[in-house]
Amino acid sequence: MKLTGAQILVQMIKSQGVDTIFGYPGGATIDIHDELDRHDDLRHILVRHEQGAVHAADAYARAHKTVGVALVTSGPGATNTVTGIASAHSDSIPMVVFTGQVPTGLIGNDAFQEVDIVGITRPCTKHNYLVKDPKKLACTIQEAFHIAQSGRPGPVLVDLPKDIIQAQIEFNMPEPTRMRSYKPNYKPNKKQMSKAVEMLKSARRPVMLGGGGIISSQASEEFTKIAKLANIPVTGTLMGLGSYPGSDDNWLGMLGMHGTYRANMSIGHSDLILAAGVRFDDRVTGNIEKFAPQAQIIQIDIDPTSIHKNIEVHCPIVGDCKMALADILDLMEKESPADFQQDREAWLDRINEWKQTTPLKYDQGYDTIKPQYVVEKLYEVTEGKAIVSTEVGQNQMWAAQYYHFDEPNHFITSGGLGVMGFGLPAAIGAKAARPDKLVVNIAGDGSIQMNIQELMTAIASDLDVKIVILNNRFLGMVRQWQELFYDKAYASTDLEKAPDFVKLAEAYGAKGFKCDDPANVTETLKTGLNTPGTVIMEFIVEREESVYPMVPAGGAITDMLLV
């Protein structure tokens, strides 16, 4: 059977179980979009900017637990995806990005809308391809999906010259992918499992630390069972929120620069850390030399290059988090639970004292809305069941602190790269993946404007998302640093002149509500969340409210600035 390259591409995408693509057409991909239009079982969501396509595909992958797919044209269409690809790479999100390219005969000739996207994205993709032979197109696409979702997940880019897409060749479905040079190790070493169990038995001040690897490997159940069996307190990274129930008594809250007092102090005084799916980045560790000075560390990670990368560990376990934790749990269940809980009372009492004496706090008065109050009320009104995406900045940290995630894949944020403008397209991607769920984007007034055009995508695609804007008329997180470390010189962070977000919502065909009275916060949230369609809820909040606790740059995580 002879097919064009465009037809082969669509057939191969469908063979991978994909039912949704986020994209934006151009001259180099017009044949692909023409072919897509003939396939009712493959939904193409037309975004309004290529960056939005990649963030939406990223969130789709997280909420749907599958591979996200984006399709863009050559040149600027391709380069507009780079931020989203880099974000997915930092957060280990499985994604395949197809980019159009000029015909192979024009590559290197400075042709119109030609760019070396393979070279540009080499440092921020897990792998990338330039397809030069139409006979290799099908195998390349299959490999791309295999690489994106196996081992440590990540984005893969496939660059498609126009003549490859238009070529007509005999098509046969390729054999399953086998790559001699790429064989991720999933199965952990049994000796290391036994060693980890012995370390857990002998620990007197243990803490468990969950990261994004728990969520990507769907290991939350095993992680939670270990903590329950051994009665171990649990903290998590930003990417690990939801890996352990946020409403459970053993949950300490988030760790790190804006972590809770009890989480940071517990890590600082622990004698054992069981860390799973964590890469120990600087926002988590603070000053590496002062991180957990008394602790032995067990680190589980699918990526061997992440072991020992930032922190020296005492029991490295290379393998899939779910498999490793299941093995550890199996060994623990063969012994008495009491063996794992000896002499633990004083430690738990000390943590409870930290929790009681130094909780997260703010003072909500009668005049001005505190942003933390909005997030707390959002949590109450939604009963903690919404999928929440965030932008980056103070809004992201308040969401992490005050919205308690009981399930994985419900907190979707740009953790590693920290991309402002991520939240709205991410909410659209999450809604496409989970139309049964309420999806809320928590945003700042600065970050929401970075991809505000995607409001049109939500409305045109009938993907109803709710947007909560915490409007402080500042680039808040930078302003906070200026307040603390630059003598309150608020250079280039004042956003007093801003659009009317209610009118902006209406201009796009959405609904808009505005609230500046603390007494009306709950009612505004209820009204906005219960209004059909896409809705913006704008809350005028305290201008100079800051995120606390805060660990100053270079400090130990136990050296926190408190309210």
Instruction: Please identify every residue annotated as catalytic.
Output: 50, 112-113, 162, 477
For the chain, the maximum distance between any two Cα atoms, rounded to a whole number of angstroms, is: 73
Q: Residue 544 and residue 77: Cα distance in Å, rounded?
A: 38
> Which tokens belong to 376?
């707390």
Q: Residue 320 and residue 310: Cα distance in Å, rounded?
A: 20
Across 277-316, b (16+ Cβ under 10 Å) vs e yields bbbbbebbbbbeeebbeebbbbbbbbbeebbeebbebebb
One-letter identity of residue 97? V
Q: Which residues contact 354 (CB under 8 A, 6 or more apart)?
A: 261, 262, 265, 266
> Which tokens belong to 253?
């809250």
Q: Decide if 485 contacts 491 (C-beta within 8 A).
A: no
Q: Residue 255 and residue 135: Cα distance in Å, rounded?
A: 50
Q: Residue 533 and residue 510: Cα distance in Å, rounded?
A: 7
Q: How many CB atoms lie within 10 A of CB 394?
A: 27
> Which tokens belong to 444?
């700042």
One-letter identity of residue 190? K
Q: Decide if 460 contacts 46 (C-beta within 8 A).
A: yes
Q: Which residue has the tokens 């980045």?
A: 281
Evaluate the CA torsion angle 17, 19, 23, 26 in order and state its sign: positive
- Bridge-based pairing of strands 272-276 and 296-301 is parallel
> Which tokens belong to 65?
């637990």
Q: Which residue has the tokens 């906005």?
A: 528
Distances from the Cα of 474 to the Cαs of 124, 257, 301, 445, in angstroms?
31, 21, 39, 8
> At CA 179, angle to CA 178 and CA 185, rounded to 5?
100
529: nearest Cα among 521, 537, 518, 538: 537
